[in-house]
Each structure stands twice: as structure tokens, then as C-alpha cells.
Amino acid sequence: MGVELPSDTPDDVVAAAAGGPRIPQFDPTVGIPVVPPAGDAPHRLVVIGDSLSQGFQSGAVFNTELSYPSIIAHQLGWLDRFRFPRYGGPGGLPLNIELLLRTLEERFGPRLDLWEVPLALFAARGFMDQVEDYWERGPGSVAPTFSAINHNLSVYGWDLRDALTKTAHGCEAALHEPHDDLISQIVENNGERAALRVLPRGSEAEKRMTAFDAAAELGKEGIETLIVFLGANNALRTVTELRVEWSGNNFRDSDGKREYTVWQPEHFASEYAEVLAAIRKINAQHVILCTVPHVTIAPIAHGLGGKIEIGSRYFPYYARPWVRDTDFDPQRDQHITGAQAWAVDTAIDVYNDGIEQAVANARRVGKDWYLCDIAGLLERVASRRYVTDVNARPSWWTPYPLPKALTDLQPVPDSLFLSADGRGGRASGGLFSLDGVHPTTVAYGVMAQELANIMVTAGVQFDRAQVDFDRLVRRDTLVRTPPQNLDSTLGVIGWADEHLGFAKRVFGL
């Protein structure tokens, strides 16, 4: 590539970059045969993960019955026994961007005129105040008590260390008396409030359980399939905050690590080794590990200008989705460079090499572990990286075959930021929700199908192994009828970001 890596890039990332980008591993067995164990297990599916497994979408966790674990449970015919958290109120936690835009659309119509901007910002503030009141002082301020451990043990915002250490006891201790802030109207301690609906709280002993402890408790009765999908939040903040800060030696410290947006590979490997040790203590017949997605495919970081050079994967700069090429000023607008994006993606390649190796090591000693290369899947739908740039495509690349229910849609869903056509439908996008990071409902279905295919390989019996995408299309309001004020409202959000730091509160999750 015709640029150099930034001077602060760790040595092992520099060495990995010299060898070229990782080639995805689409064989879930990584080429090592193992005879899958047989027999019944009462807990057919348990998942440990972050927002991508919890069902986060458009800035909030809300429709958890449409998360990929719930979709798999539905296909198993086990959804009525699959335990997962639910979030009510005005659009879930912490802020539902889709509901906010629909509220503005109902009041101001599909386009915001300049004179309506102050009124729209006032209305947005009122909506955010309603959400804040519900979760901090209203019905949502008291987490429900449940006697049985959830099967979906995923919480948005969690990195590896959080999954290894956070408990309901610690989350309760972190809560403090909230105050009604007229400026920073985002639910305080929203991550802890979300986790208290996930982690076990039935007894004092359960309150001190981590997600891995809770899974191990379920494993005493037997787990058929355990899915672990963690690590995205060890790099994602490079694009949600648009800054690259490599982890230091205090990466295990819950306070110190907050400054870091991407983990050095050796630090990631150290923490993932603890994850693997925790997995080995869980009695599960089949284990699926998922790779970490590359951060610059999600449209929250919009590539500006032409590619750095012919055949490159990267743009010179990555900024917010509402920043136009003609308006971008690197001296003024928050951004990361293409060289920084390359360094972060290379670090993720090293993470994923380690995850793939962990599956190989387990299978060599007879454990029925599998790899789901989510990173590779996303590369195959990356519109601006590969789909529309033939010169950048690596030799292994082929377009991802979306199911017929999605290819029948017009336009066919892609990885661009969602936009409306002004006539009630979509003009682009459809795979990423309105936060520019998390999948739409149909894209969660794609993830569910990939994982279900692996489970079939492991001998898991489904009522229907093929995901019902017609059902998901009917439930996906963003794909069918997105808010028609998307384009004009993004401009308002850009204005609000400049004056109020809105993006950090809404998009920097």
C-alpha cells in the first residue's frame, strides 16, 4: 500500500501488515475432523457476547426477540424455552434512533426545513428526556428479579475483560443517584442497567456470577451449543469515537482501559486466553467461536475521497456519515486516516488468527469446537471496499449469496448507510441499522443462518434449519419502510454534533 503505518503502531501489527491481510477461514472445522458428541442436553443454546449477540439495533437494545440467538432458537423450535432479557419503555436502552427519527417525521414530515431545525432539536431533547426519565426514575429504574439464568448472556458495550469480570453485584454497586441533565440527556449507567436484566440475580451467590460463571451453572445440566462472540469492543471505539489509542500495560484495569480504543494483539491474546480457560469449564457439547469484524466496513465511519490508490481497501480519511467529501476539512472534522484504519484492521487480523488457532487446538484434542468467520462474511458484503471496486478484490473474494427473500427486495440490501427514497422505501443500505454499526433484523438473520449451518454440521437437530427470511422481512421496519427524513435529519444530527457533541452520545456506544 502506498502509505506507511502510523509511528505508534505496535511492532507485531507492523510485522503482520507486511505479510498482507488475513485470508478468512470459511471451513468451520478448520480442516480438522472430530466426531460430534451425541445425546440430549436440556439447554439447547447458550450465547455469551456483546451488543451483536444481545440484539442491539439503531442505538438501542429493544427487539431482543429478533437477536440472532433468538432467531436460532426460533428455528430450533425452542424459542418458548429460550430465556433472554427484554427492554421496554420508549424504544429500549439507551436511545432508539429509529424511534427518534419517526417521532420527528410524524411532527415535521419527511424533510426538515432550515427554520424547523431549532424546533426539531427541541423535540429531540424532549424525546431523550422521556427516555431518561423512564430508565432513571420511572418503571425502568428497577431491574426485574428472575429465578432462572438467561440463555442469552450478552451485554452491549462489553469487551473481553467486562465479560470475564462483570457481575450483577458490581453493576448494582456502580449505580448512583441519577440527575436530570438538560444537556447530556442520555441514560446514566445505561450499560449497568442493561446488564442487570441479563446477569443472574436470584441469590447473593448468583449476583457474584460472571456471564461465564452463569453459563457454567447451566452446563451442570448440560448445554448443547455454546456460542461465544466477543472482542469487537476491543477495537470498535476506533470508529465510534474516531480516535486510535492503543492499549497500555494497564489494559486489565477497569478504569484505566477506558482510554483505549484498540487493544494491542499481545494484550488481546492475553485476555482471550482467559476467555478460553473460562469456556473449558463449561459443559457444552458444541462450542462456536466467532471472529472479530473489521471496523471500517460498518458505515459509521464513512470513507472520504477516492481510494488511496488503485487496488487499495482504504480511503484517505474516515469521518461521520453526514460529512460530505466537498465539506470535509481534516483540520476541523473529527476523523481517522486510512493508515490508521489499516493498522486497526491488521490488529484485528491478528486477533482472528488467534481465535482460529484456538479452534484448531481444541479440535486436535477431540473437542467439538467450530469457527464462524463473521469478519470474512462482512468482507463479502463490503460495498465500497470490494463490491463496487473490482481492483481491490483479493483472490479469495466472492460476493456473499444473500437469501432470495432479500435479493427480491428493491434495492437489494447492501452495507451502505441506510437512506430513504422519499417515496416510503429505501434508496440504499439495509444491512446496517441507523447507528451505522449494528445489523438490521434481516442482517441478524444472515448471521443466524451462518451459525445454524455450523450447528447442522455438528449434528444439531432443527425444526427448520433454514431461517425464515420472509418472517424477518415482515418484521424489519428499516428495510421495508425506513423513516423518510433520514437524509435531512442526518444533516440536523451533524449540526447538533458540531454544537452539542450529539454524536458521542448517540453514535459512540
Query: pLDDT at residue 430 above 70?
Result: yes
118-127, 375-384, 495-504, range with greatest mean pLDDT: 375-384
177 Cβ contact list (under 8 Å, min separation 6): none
For residue 185, what pLDDT band results from cuts at 50, 70 and 90? low
Name residue 46's beta-bridge partners: 226
Average pLDDT in the 419-446 region?
94
In a domain? residue 104: no
Does an H or E element contain 45, and which? strand 43-49
As a whole number, the mean pLDDT across the chain is 92
* Residue 174 burial (C-beta neighbours within 10 Å; 0-12, 13-18, 19+): middle
Identify the pLDDT of residue 225: 98
Query: pLDDT at residue 181 above 80?
Result: no
Query: pLDDT at residue 420 above 50?
Result: yes
Query: pLDDT at residue 14 above 90?
Result: yes
Average pLDDT in the 24-53 region?
96
304 Cβ contact list (under 8 Å, min separation 6): 315, 316, 317, 318, 319, 323, 325, 328, 335
Identify the pLDDT of residue 509: 45
In a domain? residue 97: no
End-to-end CA distance of the chain: 31
| Cα–Cα dist 151/162, whole Å | 18
Identify the pLDDT of residue 13: 98
Query: Whole-structure pTM over 0.85, yes or no?
Result: yes
Identify the pLDDT of residue 86: 95
Choice among 172-176, 220-224, 327-331 with the minimum mean pLDDT: 172-176
- The percent of residues in the chain predicted with pLDDT above 90, rounded, is 80
Looking at 210-311, which runs of residues are DSSP E strands?
A: 223-229, 284-290, 302-304
In a domain? residue 39: yes
Model confidence pLDDT, tens digit, residues 383-394: 999 999 999 999
- Phi and psi torsions of 260, nearest 5°: -90, 145
| Cα–Cα dist 440/254, whole Å | 31
Identify the pLDDT of residue 182: 47
| Cα–Cα dist 120/493, whole Å | 10
CATH code of the domain containing 497: 3.40.50.1110
Query: pLDDT at residue 408 above 60?
Result: yes
For residue 454, what pLDDT band results from cuts at 50, 70 and 90? very high
Average pLDDT in the 52-76 region?
96
- Asked whether the beta carbons of 50 and 229 are under 8 A apart, the reply is yes
DSSP 225: E
Q: Which three cell numbers stand for residue 309?
A: 490508490
Q: Is 11 left (phi over 0), alpha (psi -120 to 50) or beta?
A: alpha
Query: pLDDT at residue 505 above 80?
Result: no
In a domain? residue 191: yes
Name residue 317's beta-bridge partners: 304, 337
In a domain? residue 478: yes
Q: Which domain holds residue 372?
A: 11-86+146-507
More confident residue, 137 or 503: 137
In a domain? residue 136: no
In a domain? residue 66: yes
- Asked whether the beta carbons of 264 and 12 are under 8 A apart, the reply is yes
In a domain? residue 297: yes
Model confidence pLDDT, tens digit, residues 22-33: 999 999 999 999
Name residue 407's beta-bridge partners: none
Pick from 40, 167, 4, 61: which is nearest to 433 by CA?
61
More confident residue, 222 or 186: 222
Rg, C-alpha atoms of the chain: 22
413, HSE (Cβ side, Cα atoms, 13 Å): 25
Query: pLDDT at residue 1 above 80?
Result: no
Identify the pLDDT of residue 508: 44
Judge if the upstream peptide bond of residue 321 is cis by omega within 30 degrees of 0: no
Number of compact structural domains in the chain: 1
Query: pLDDT at residue 3 above 50?
Result: yes
Model confidence pLDDT, tens digit, residues 269-323: 999 999 999 999 999 999 999 999 999 999 998 999 899 999 999 999 999 888 8
Query: pLDDT at residue 216 above 60?
Result: yes
338 Cβ contact list (under 8 Å, min separation 6): 3, 303, 308, 312, 314, 315, 316, 317, 318
Model confidence pLDDT, tens digit, residues 135-176: 999 999 999 888 899 999 999 999 999 999 999 999 999 987
